A and B are shown apart, each in its own frame.
Chain A
Amino acid sequence: MARPDVATFLERFVLPFVVGGEAHVNRPLTSADLGRFELDLANATVALVAVDEARTDVLAELVARPPALVLDADELALAVGLHNALVLAHPDADGSLVTDAMRRKIASTALRMVSQPISRDRTRVLARHALLHNLLDLGRADVTVSWWTGRARFLGQKPSARLTAWKGVRRVREEVTRAGFDELLASPEVAPVMAALLRRTPLTQLLGVSPSAPPLHWEDAVFLLRDAEVARAVAYAAVRPDEPRAQVAAPARLAAAFEQMLERTPPAADVRAVAAFLAHVAALLAMAEAHLTSPSAKSPLLSAVLGGGPGAGRPRGLATFFALPVALERVAPVLSDPPGLAHEAPWQRRWLAFKAQAVDLLGQPLVDSLVARLARHLGPAPDRTPLAEAPASTPTPGPT
């Protein structure tokens, strides 16, 4: 059995994983392998540069000037940990030769590897996201081959030629289905590894929309909202044009995480930052309709996603998302309207009509409840003074 080397690992697993392609999963890698990889990293320049260039391309869509990236030891550990987690979804690791104890050992090793220090450094966060940005989109092509006397299923593997030979005579039929993140990496024994891995890359969590991904902890990600460029990229990713229900999926997930945050005891500044960000995202959705309708017309988006009433299959957090700007008017008025909106009269009219329609569809009790929860973190509601009279020193967290 050949010893795995870092260049092969980068070329066959890391690079396809970053740029999209066939990421090959081989036997599990030990801590000794990881140590050897770290030592050999300097000798695998070609593969290393290819990975770093691919990561730079990924970041080019998010920030104007991607930082210089060099794959280092902790990112390598994250990649090896992910590889080992994928081994547990390998069909050969589910056979009689691999016992539960062995699987637990592999999972434990993977967890150790991904348990790298949590970082809030911008470059490091961007670098980790560039490495793992496809994590939630990872899939596997499962082929089911059926022939005239039987059938066989190949999970991420190529069917043998003898099974697919003489297709006409043996009435061979191949069906290819794609297994997603939830089938590969959401099993109970891998879930802790994934949770730990995603905590190390909060930007991936903010930008990803997979429903089976671990829930977002805003406390881990709120620092990203204080970087205007990154926050803008997150906001634009959240309001990507799509069918209405798909368009609000990401904002609803972020708002659901905000609901959970309110149940804990986060710093007030973090609550203010997330609240301002979510209000900003809501305003973006409102402004996206400004060219479709007159400024005071009803929002087709709100009618589509909230029109069915409370029991009409709204995703979690959606009601909070649309009620938040209205509630903030009473708790922290300076956060409720994105800065600059009031300078454009048509935009302001559109925003007011959007909020009024949201209250109509959600109901005042829901807004009142959110006001009470926000007030616990942000203090009692201030006087209803106009925004223009607010003190000049009032901080305006969130994206600008």
Chain B
Amino acid sequence: MALEHVAHGQARFMTPGVAPDPRGVVLGRYLVIVFPTLEGVVSWLRLYSHEASLDELVAGLEITRVRTPLMSREMILRIPAVSSYAADRAARLARLVGGSIYTGTAKHFVKYRDDRSPYGYDAVEIGALPGGAELMVHGDDFTQTYAREGDISLSRLLFRLSLRRVPGAQRLAAEDRADLVLAVARGLGDGVIRYLWRNRCDGEVGLVAPRNNKAASDGSAGFGVDPSYLLMRVRSLPERILELFLGTPGIDVFRPVSENVAVAVGWAHPVELASVASLLPADTYHVFWPGDRVDLLAGPLELSRLADLTRIDLELEGVREPRTGEVSGPDPVAVALRLAPASGLARRVSATLVPLAQTAQFKRLVYLLPPAALRGLRVAVTDRGIVVVASHDLDVIPLGMLLTELAPGIMVPIGMEVVPRVSPEVLAGALGHGLGVLTVFTPDAAPFQLPESKLAPLERRSVARLESHTVEIRNVALDPSGDPTVVNDPLGRFALWGFPEPEQKLLGE
């Protein structure tokens, strides 16, 4: 047994450089996490960066390739022991990805606490490190020395990691599409700018050239010799345009993850880049492309208004004088509105116009209507008939001329439509139709209008005035009786005749 459990309140330890923190947990200045391979380190960084910020650990973070005396290679990740809470998280994630965690300050690192020993462990004996050994870790039943082979910079590791495709991440929600970055090849620039401007997409644009010449040197940018391209920042990009851009060669879409970092849409960096902001210089704009490409652009980005870059066609030759028009009379091509059989699919029935001659049948029908229909129907009695309008499908009244809603408030007989087939706005304008007005077309006469306020719920209209009698309220309750009270009237003098002698047995004497 190379370790012993630390007791609560224990202050003296065999391991140098460890001390109890305010919770009593043994903690050194650093935590050392040992992984068999670099993948373990990356997995740990990936997990930790999504749970907490790596920025607070970056100051003392070291990734070291080490070698054991038996010449096997392992990876050690050293992080500062900020607090036992952060250490607990680091330990939990390290165990999750197959690493083991130790704490210490310089050379000797002892196993960090676990469930079996909540206050941590202390080494039973501390010996001198053999020659060439950089550090020694003390486990449950072993001690292991490591010699340093080399270091890996975290920033270098970040830029070497390939983006991973995230299934389904190409479909962005509205808030994710609020701010997107486009990298557009220069040849497509005019077309994209015009397209965006036509579709009322606000944004800025600038011509950028990557600072690192890697993209230019290997030709992966695909833009030819000139590595520069147009970088556009667009806001509230519609989903259909996003899909179009994602499928267009020469246009790449990126999603900003922090002030100076953008990652290709549909891809994600293994490490949460927002949590390692200190490793990404503020004066550089980082564009992470799929395929291990990272463009470092001079930042902060200075972009211009997209609307100002639309193409302007100028014809300086043969400028024509402005023509003077004349106001003419009514348009001779105007035609009257007519009803004609509809060509499209039948619409739902929204209303019916019951002739006044069928009022008796309609009254009988009211008795049969279900309560929901009585509440949902509105009715107005006009000289052209009884207009019954439903808030839902009107399929319970088989009377009169069934009407369908051509446009809001404009009713036409079912199976018919208004010709010429003008837009609803034009039709409303021609009819003088507006909000709160119901316009009904009938095949046999001119359309008529009535205010919607005149439509009353059928429920209220269906009951005729009732005569009720006021009844007399009778109080049948008994008056609360109080307790009787003896009132002694003056006795005066009274004679004793009439009072017989008492019977002894009755008085019980």
- Chain A residues within 8 Å of B, Cβ to Cβ: 1, 16-28, 30-33, 57, 60-61, 86-87, 89-93, 97, 102, 104-109, 111-112, 115, 134, 137-141, 155-157, 178, 184, 189, 192
Contacts and interface: CB of A to CB of B under 8 A. Distances in A.
Interface of B: 478, 481-494, 496-503, 506-508
Given A60-B478, A92-B490, A192 B507 contact: yes
24 contacts: A18-B484, A20-B482, A22-B484, A23-B485, A24-B487, A24-B488, A30-B497, A31-B498, A61-B478, A92-B488, A92-B490, A92-B491, A102-B496, A102-B499, A105-B501, A108-B499, A108-B502, A111-B507, A112-B500, A115-B506, A140-B488, A156-B487, A156-B488, A192-B508
A105 B483 contact: no
A90 to B, nearest CB: 5
Given A31-B498, A33-B498, A109-B499, A139 B486 contact: yes
Given A105-B499, A108-B500, A23 B493 contact: no
B493 A105 contact: no
Nearest to A109: B499
B498 A30 contact: yes
B487 A105 contact: no
Given A28-B499, A90-B491, A140 B506 contact: no
B491 A105 contact: no
Contacts of B498: 30-33
Given A57-B478, A104-B507, A105-B501, A140 B491 contact: no
Nearest to A105: B499
Nearest to A16: B484
Contact of A25 (B478, B487, B502): B487
Contact of A1 (B492, B499, B503): B492
B491 A27 contact: yes
Given A105-B499, A107-B507, A109-B500, A26 B485 contact: no
Nearest to A26: B489
A91 B491 CA distance: 9
Nearest to B503: A108
A133 B500 CA distance: 29
Contacts of B483: 20, 134, 137-139
Contact of B486 (A20, A23, A108): A23
Contact of A105 (B486, B488, B496): B496
A343 B496 CA distance: 66
Nearest to A135: B484
A178 B484 CA distance: 11
Ranked 9 nearest A-B pairs via Cβ: A30-B498, A108-B502, A20-B481, A156-B488, A105-B499, A20-B482, A92-B491, A140-B486, A137-B483
Nearest to B502: A108
A105 B500 contact: yes
Contacts of B499: 28, 30-31, 102, 105-106, 108-109
Given A28-B494, A90-B491, A111-B507, A104 B484 contact: no
Contacts of A31: 498-500
B487 to A, nearest CB: 4
Contact of B488 (A90, A106, A134, A178): A90
A87 B502 CA distance: 16
Contact of A108 (B478, B481, B489, B506): B506
Most buried by A among B478, B489, B492, B500: B489
A21 B482 contact: yes
Contacts of A93: 491
A189 B506 CA distance: 11
Given A89-B486, A105-B499, 16 more contacts: A22-B485, A22-B487, A23-B484, A23-B486, A28-B499, A30-B498, A31-B498, A102-B496, A107-B507, A108-B500, A134-B481, A137-B484, A138-B483, A139-B486, A140-B485, A141-B485
Contacts of A139: 483-486
Contacts of B508: 192
Contacts of A107: 502, 507
A178 B491 CA distance: 21
Contacts of B506: 108, 111-112, 115, 192
Contacts of A140: 485-486, 488
A25 B488 CA distance: 5
B235 to A, nearest CB: 62
Contacts of B482: 20-21
A336 B487 CA distance: 48
A21 B489 contact: no
A157 B491 contact: no
Contacts of B494: 1, 27-28
B487 A23 contact: yes
A155 B486 CA distance: 9
Contacts of B488: 24-25, 90-92, 140, 155-157
Contacts of A33: 498
A87 B493 CA distance: 13
Contacts of B481: 19-20, 134
A107 B508 CA distance: 12
A86 B492 CA distance: 16
A326 B496 CA distance: 58
A11 to B, nearest CB: 13
A107 B483 CA distance: 25
A25 B496 contact: no
Contacts of A97: 493
A163 B506 CA distance: 43
A159 to B, nearest CB: 13
B485 to A, nearest CB: 5
A86 B486 contact: yes
Given A28-B499, A139-B483, A141-B485, A1 B493 contact: yes
A138 B501 contact: no
A27 B489 CA distance: 8
A155 B492 CA distance: 16
Contacts of A90: 488, 491
Nearest to A185: B486
A156 B489 CA distance: 8
Contacts of A91: 488
